Structure 1
Amino acid sequence: MPMTDAQLLERMNRHVPPTALLLGTRILSVDSAAGRVRMSFQPSEQMINPMGNVQGGFLVAMLDDAAAIAAIVKSGKRIAIPTIELKTSFFAPAKAGMTLYADAVCLKLGKRVAFMEAELRDEAGTLLAKLSTSAVPIPLPDDAIFVETT
């Protein structure tokens, strides 16, 4: 039986990969029927580039994670979702020490490819970056082991 959105949210925030710790990730809400997630990130001072902004690669990682989680929750089962292509547009700089928010949606989840989008905003609601991506959904057995922290 599939998990409820509340169960998914609790599990995904309890079992996180090391990258989620690095990015200061928190999943705030999931809507599995719509394939949508809202997440927050806490970029650290170690992510700052010479201009004093969060380096763009970290922002891409945040958006990529949000998009992948949107596809995972839409699937209703355990899947891996390795990225095969992505494009990110940057609109404004992100500052370390400020909470960032990502809203992501899985636009289409097919058997061979999934299509997702994600937007990243700061605390004031300013659009910082937008990602469009595709990935390969790979079914996993229920007992599949991931690298997770406890």
Structure 2
Amino acid sequence: MKNYRFGVADLEDIAGMSGRVLLQAIIDGQLPQAPISQALDFWLVEVGDGFAAFEGEPAPHLLNPMGTVHGGWALTLIDSVAACAAHSLLPAGIGYTTVETKGNFSRPIRPDTGRVRAEAKVVSQGRQIVTSEARVLATDGRVLAHGTSTLLIVPPAR
């Protein structure tokens, strides 16, 4: 993992930035990665129009009592990458919030799984709702988990 900064960007630092520009600024280190990225050992690494990718490190502090990575980690990764894919399409000043995230776990994730990559793409964009699909992949391309997120577009406060 690179030496990322973590935190929440000041509103004046992101004013006028489209979603894609803002996300690229996070990747480039001009803005901090989200605080949840530090706690859960995953981070934004790539963005395109309607696309985002994260990488993450399964680690011992993420284990459930059975010794595998808790499913909530993969589900949070799915929600985060899917939301960023949607955010990449939004103009400056427009926000979003998750309405629903669904996940399916295909294989156990263990600390020795190694770095994983989560990729998401927008599959439907309306005026108020965006839906994205996401996959969590092992380094060999095996699908570890997959799911969808539905996001509500939030206009700027008046």
TM-score (norm 1): 0.80
1:35-55 per-residue CA deviation (whole Å, 9 max, x = no partner) reads: 011210123211111222110
Per the TM alignment, residue 31 of structure 1 is displaced from its structure 2 partner at its CA by: 0.8
Counterpart Cα distance in 1 of 2:139 and 2:107 = 13
Is the 8 Å Cα contact of residues 33 and 43 (structure 2) preserved in structure 1? no
Residue in 1 aligned with 2:48?
31
- Identity %, equivalent residues: 24
Alignment match, 1:109: 125
Q: Whose relative contact order is higher, 1 or 2, with alpha carbons under 8 Å and at least 6 apart?
A: 1
Match of 1:99 in 2: 115
- Partner secondary structure for residue 87 of structure 1: strand
Matches within 5 A, 1:1-150: 8-11=23-26, 14-32=31-49, 35-96=50-111, 98-140=114-156
SS in 1 for 2:78: helix
How many residues were matched structurally? Answer: 139
Show structure 2 runs of 5+ residues with no match: 1-15
Does the 8 Å CA contact 1:9/1:27 hold for their aligned counterparts?
A: no
SS at match of 1:137: strand
> Contact 1:31 / 1:73 at 8 angstroms: preserved in 2?
yes
Structure 1 unmatched runs, 5+: 142-150
Task: Note the alpha carbon deviations across 1:92-147, whole angstroms, 9 max, x for none.
Answer: 01112521100101112222111111000112221011111211011347xxxxxx
How far is 1:69 from its partner? 0.3
Instruction: Please tell me the residue identity of whatever aligns with 1:132.
Output: T
Moved beyond 4 Å, runs of 4+ = 1-7
Deviation by residue 1:16-69 (Cα, 9 ceiling, x = unmatched): 22111112222221112xx01121012321111122211001110011000000
- State the alpha-carbon separation in 2 of the partners of residues 78 and 95 from structure 1: 39
- What is the SS of the residue equivalent to 2:26? helix
Tell me the equivalent position of 1:144: none
Deviation for aligned residue 1:85: 1.6
Relative distance call for 1:136 and 1:3 in structure 2 (3 A) is: closer
3-state SS of 1:8 partner = helix
Secondary structure of 1:51's aligned partner: coil
Could you say which residue in structure 2 is the equivalent of 1:148? none
Deviates more, 1:128-137 or 1:70-79: 70-79
Aligned CA RMSD, in angstroms, stands at 2.2
